[in-house]
Structure 1
Amino acid sequence: MKPTEFVKVNSQFWGEHLKEAAGHLPVSHRTELPGPMLLPRMMVLTETPDWNILELVGLSREYRTLEVRRQKAATVEEYFGIGDGRTVVANLKGQNWFKDATITTEAGKSALEKRFPGTGNMLGNEVVGPADELLRFGPGNYSTFDRALLVHTAGDSLRAHWVFFALAIHRSEPADKYLDFLRNYSNASPHLDPIGTVSLPVDPAVLKADAFESTYLAHGLQDSTVDEFLDKHESILLSAFDATKLIRQPALGDLHPDFILERADGSHVVGRLELPVVDTVNGKKRRRVFRTSVQDSATELAQYAEYLGNAENRSQVKSKYDVDVSDLRQLVIVPSQGTVTPAAGVEVVDYDTILRIHLAATA
């Protein structure tokens, strides 16, 4: 199937499927759903030399025609995973389905439980292995990830990514068979739980915040400043990281991280946003541009950690911001629809995953 055919089939199927589900279930089966129905906001279609990849990203309170983003990746492993060691799920051949599942390394599972307590409500079926790489694809046709949490580790780096719905299909598969697969998979799903949606037992008021409208990190953020982003998303960051306090853009000498979170257990997270928000330098505005590498942010985070590793500096920070920094973690928040490479000692989490962890903690 050519990439143009892949785009056409997905646009046709998902447009019809999601519009019908959104127009029917919240009306006729509203009282039978666990809670508000959430739908994707964007369709990312990725082409590799051997595979076509679909991923639905973002969370929306209502149906809107999916925006389409097309991109290329060198390999399917590059898109889904990091690291090049042994695999948790190796040689994905034929047809594979992962639904309401967590796929992770043993190190990733341990880190997840410690760093994101809210994930306890969303782990689902667990596929855990003593490995450095999550997935390695073999000859086959389909691999489907339906509400799956992928937690990658590479050395001391960590990447958490919640997949709303993703599917990798070998490019040798004809378009008509792919469309048949989507229809059969959809028909096999429970009527009250159609593919590409999620219903959560959360207070609908939680979903009315402005922050919820920016979940797929495109519209509305380009003209936001870092402070405006943190103002809108403070409650989400606090609950996702089990934190009690957010310090916005603290001054660490000449260094200026985007935020520091103080967690309930007394540990801290220093963070950097790799999002299309406006940064201000010497009175002039500039936009941040995410180019799939977190290395620049990792370098800055290492400087923050070195600064806070000094007892005198920590004392000054405590006096100024009333926060006694200890057991520091380094975090980069990235756009939800991008692929990333690891950076030593850095956690990489996209905003959709943070939002999903927040909703799990709220449920």
Structure 2
Amino acid sequence: MTDTTAHDRTTVLLVYGGKSSEHPVSCLTAAGVLAAIDHDRYEVLPVGITSAGRWTLVPIDVAAAMKTVDGQLPTVDDSFPEVVLGNGGVLHRVGATTPVATVDVALSLMHGPYGEDGTIQGLFEMAGIRYVGSGVAASANGMDKALMKTTFARFELPQGPWQLVTDSDWTHHRDETLAGLQPLGLPLFVKPARAGSSIGITKVTDPADLPAAIEAAREHDPRVVVEQGLSGVREIECAVLQGRDGAAPRASLLGEVRMLTDGFYDFDAKYLPGEQVALDIPATVDDELQAAAQAVAVRTFEAMGAEGLARVDMFVTPERAVLVNEINTMPGFTQYSMYPQLWQATGLAYPDLVDELLQLALARPLGLR
């Protein structure tokens, strides 16, 4: 681990942006982390990846100032110097002979494909860099809702009914596929298998709308997950943090998402909330239900082989059964995000949470774990 003094700070490569549809959300997350990180302990190198995939070295003040303005979400400016990441964590400016720095630990804040799905985690592994969060397999399985739910079933985690619609299913067997979805009933939630932040999701209450909902999801991913809409459930979330020195994962207090309109917790409700949604932090639950949901969240974290952090989203039925909806291995850190707010309510402040994640990453070995 790097010795950190006032004159020898740990160098953090903070990567954000990327080529996915969640690029703007990643920018908001990066600004939030830059506001929280201890700059006396950490030397931060913000690297914004443009929508075209160009890596740029962004001044800290520019990256920290990203925010939503008049409903417009931020993006990575393409005008800054291009950089590449080399073996051993050496960051090079393209065309320059002297390296920018050698990275001690990477913190990828990219959401969605190429950032949350094991892609950049594989790059860090090959370059021999320690990094925050889950490894390649857990990230990939956590990103693909069908693989995720298959893992849930393998470990006998409780969940609602669902089905996968592949590209081949929809292209060559459309009528049979639609017929096979009928047992799920109504309403249905139709989702891209490998997208986050509720992008591309449609709630279907009329069977005639199902084909259009699948097409909408396919604009983001040819693999589509169709889930049974559960009636009367509460949407409960739990933030999970890896334990120290092999200890069990830690679970936060619970939070609850309550919609104030007839809609659902979609992209706008998450990042442009207005009066659409209420986030109860902590949730109003009794001790028995809280313990049960925390136990399910920890089991989910362990079943997926997650590392560092994850947010586990669950449903609580009227009969008080706890069902896993999904795990997010790189939850958002914006001002509206559940993950840091849940830890704040549990007693771990935002700056301390960022520090803990970096320290967990610095402490784990390189290579296969």
* Shorter-chain TM-score above 0.5: no
What is the TM-score when the length of structure 2 is the normalising length? 0.28
What is the TM-score when the length of structure 1 is the normalising length? 0.29
